[in-house]
Amino acid sequence: MESLNRLVDYKFNSSTIKQSEDMSENKNILKDTHGRDHAYLRISLTERCNLRCTYCMPADGVQLSPKSHLMTYEEIYDIAKTFVDHGVTKIRLTGGEPLVRKDIPVILEKLATLPVELSITSNAVIIDRFIDDLKRNGIKKVNVSLDSLDEGKFKHITRRHEFKRVYNNILLLVKEGFTVKVNAVLMKGFNDDEIIDFINFTKNLPVSIRFIEFMPFDGNKWDISKMVSYAKVMEYVNEAYHKDDILRLKDAPNDTSKNYKIKGYQGSFAIISSVTNPFCDSCNRLRLTANGQLKNCLFSATESDLLTTLRAGKSIEPIIQKAVRAKFKARGGMDTLEKLQKPQLHGKNRSMITIGG
């Protein structure tokens, strides 16, 4: 009888422990079915931009969301706080160009009250006007989009005459003590001949140049022949520098890039190989669009509407959990290069400008 009681107690305790573990698992709404915890949220503040980069925006523009469909600064804060309450420790503000939003100082001030690392991605055209706002709200890291060091090429890719302002503002950010990363989307036959120029840009400047493989989005006329791969970038590097001078750096946890530097240079360079060598296994990122849609992957064609639910006064937590648990293991389900090359798959995604960089 005593043995039977011990067996019953064991089964009861085991069942109780399992239920407790299940409840704990259910409470972790930012953990997906592949065991990835999502502690990084990228928030797009606007679909508008003061540049017109060809890989980001279709030539004939995009249909912008009506203003009433966009998140207010209060709604941005409320949604962000929900994510932070569940474990997000890093928030990056993107766009469009986030600094064109008129209430950007208020947004920065609100989000700065949350216990997160706050950073921003900008094209740097007008960032000189916001240096004090960034510093006041604890933003120390700025990513700048710059796809060419040649003024003529810059105009071609952005369809705007703003190269000198962007270049000078990068120098200003460095001078003001910001940690600066420069993002360059590589396109074969356009700027792949500037790879070494970009790396040499880091010789006397403590910046990180990040080469990004050209990725498919709605309207950007992507095909794999236009892409400059991680392997190709390293071919250029190995031809230009002695092998002992090319230093492989340690990547940060959950890093999207493979990081290097040239011996003696102040800065560094990296390759983000989303197409040929994706970092999906360690992905900890989620994206919130300017109109309040949650994307669990940059490549995903599906979205989850948080804003409508928030405005209805209901909890957005179940929607977040469902979206996170629906995340594919790799690239929104396009887990091979063959799938990635099918327009019927990647063509269902938004254009990059309406996702957020």
Domain boundaries defined on the chain? 40-355
C-alpha 287/C-alpha 355 separation (Å) is: 8
What residue type is assigned to position 282 of the chain? Answer: S
Residue 313 has pLDDT above 90, yes or no: yes
Alpha helices (runs of H) in the chain, residue ranges in sequence order: 2-27, 73-85, 104-111, 131-136, 151-158, 163-175, 195-200, 230-240, 307-311, 317-325, 337-340, 343-346, 352-355
- What's the DSSP call for residue 53? -
pTM (2 decimals)? 0.84
Q: How many alpha carbons fall within 13 Å on the CB side of residue 125?
A: 17
Looking at 33-42, 161-170, 191-200, 266-275, which range is the least confident one? Answer: 266-275
Structurally, at CATH architecture level, domain 40-355 sits in: Alpha-Beta Barrel (3.20)
Nearest to 233 by CA among 184, 299, 180, 298: 184
Structure confidence at residue 92 as a pLDDT band (50, 70, 90): very high
Residue 280 has pLDDT above 90, yes or no: no
Structure confidence at residue 145 as a pLDDT band (50, 70, 90): very high
C-alpha 154/C-alpha 144 separation (Å) is: 14
The three-class DSSP label of residue 129 is: helix
